Structure 1
């Protein structure tokens, strides 16, 4: 039985969607069943228009809290705001109290992808400040370490760390994810899926 994995993203201008899509494609290539989902929007259409936010991709379903328990592993992808998850993701996490109360996510695997406007925009702290949510839900956090040697390169400015893939969007959102950054996202998807696949196979063999 293949592992069931969700890659759930929030992306206002497309940077995170690009990384999430790469991670999902790489995870699927391992043989896992992979769903690409997006967090619900909390801002009004009027505010989004003033922010010049493009429409959400109608082909990607919005996730609900009741969707989460059916997955063996979940990659959460979202931008950083002041070193933590954006409000849309925090609101979603706050809506999963019933899952915590029933232990529905205990033993599930989790990993994170993020972005920031600048090099020192809080990417690593966003990974770090999301771990308490996983801890309270009993989820198993999976960082990527330095398995992708591209993370060690100093030849170009890039996002990404041993915590997970990330990108630098620039203050005006003009910078798109680089080939190196999308490569790290693909590595993360493959690595994460490999771990979840191994766990699911081992559990089935018991």
Structure 2
């Protein structure tokens, strides 16, 4: 059965919530979804003082296990238009997988969160795409068949590059992912799983 890893980093829980929705979409396509997170780099006392969400149940992923999945969907908040350092640090350890072509031909996809509508949603996703390309992965976004992308009646995340959410309510307060943003995450998870299944089936047919 097709296995999809939802690999994320989340400081305050927004990406964690999106990761769960992505996994729902993967399972809705009949594939196996595994949710894991990358290690935290911020010292415990600093994370506590900053109010980080530290009770996340997802297990910590290892670099070596990435090769065990048919697709990897990456979730990271933005850091000045780029992926979080925790996620970059994890990918920086993939040299062995890169050298042995372990991730070549696997599907990769990305989702994100920002504090505002123009806070780097697209550039953050593209920063991860660059890494996925170097690892030889097949990059998949969020197609316009997800009609929630075209909504103009509310503030919402989402772009053809991947699902996203806005984490700030515009007044300095917390904003959780909206129903439309979660729908986009589920759509992306299902879309990636279906493509991974089709790719696996094609390879089996070719091998036969």
> Scaled by the length of structure 1, what TM-score is found?
0.96
* Superposed CA offset, 1:120-152 (max 9, x none): 000001111212211111011001221111110
Aligned equivalents of 2:101, 2:163: Cα separation in 1: 28
Secondary structure (helix, strand or coil) at the match of 1:17 reads helix
Aligned equivalents of 2:2, 2:64: Cα separation in 1: 18
- Which residue in the other structure is 1:189 paired with? 189
- Which residue in the other structure is 2:126 paired with? 128
Aligned equivalents of 1:128, 1:24: Cα separation in 2: 21
Which sections of structure 1, spanning at least 5 residues, go unmatched? none
How far residue 201 of structure 1 moved from its aligned partner, in angstroms, is 1.4
* Superposed CA offset, 1:81-101 (max 9, x none): 111100000100111111111
Aligned equivalents of 2:149, 2:66: Cα separation in 1: 30
Number of equivalences: 204
* Superposed CA offset, 1:134-188 (max 9, x none): 1111011001221111110100001111111000001746000000100100111
Aligned equivalents of 1:199, 1:162: Cα separation in 2: 21
- The RMSD of aligned alpha carbons is 1.1
- Which residue in the other structure is 1:198 paired with? 198
- Which residue in the other structure is 2:90 paired with? 92
**Consecutive aligned runs of 4 or more in structure 1 exceeding 6 Å deviation:** none
The question of 1:81 aligning with 2:64 is answered no
- Which residue in the other structure is 2:179 paired with? 179
Change in CA separation of 1:173 and 1:190 when aligned onto 2, cut-off 3 Å:
farther
- Which residue in the other structure is 1:138 paired with? 136
Aligned equivalents of 1:41, 1:159: Cα separation in 2: 25
> Scaled by the length of structure 2, what TM-score is found?
0.95
- Which residue in the other structure is 1:37 paired with? 36
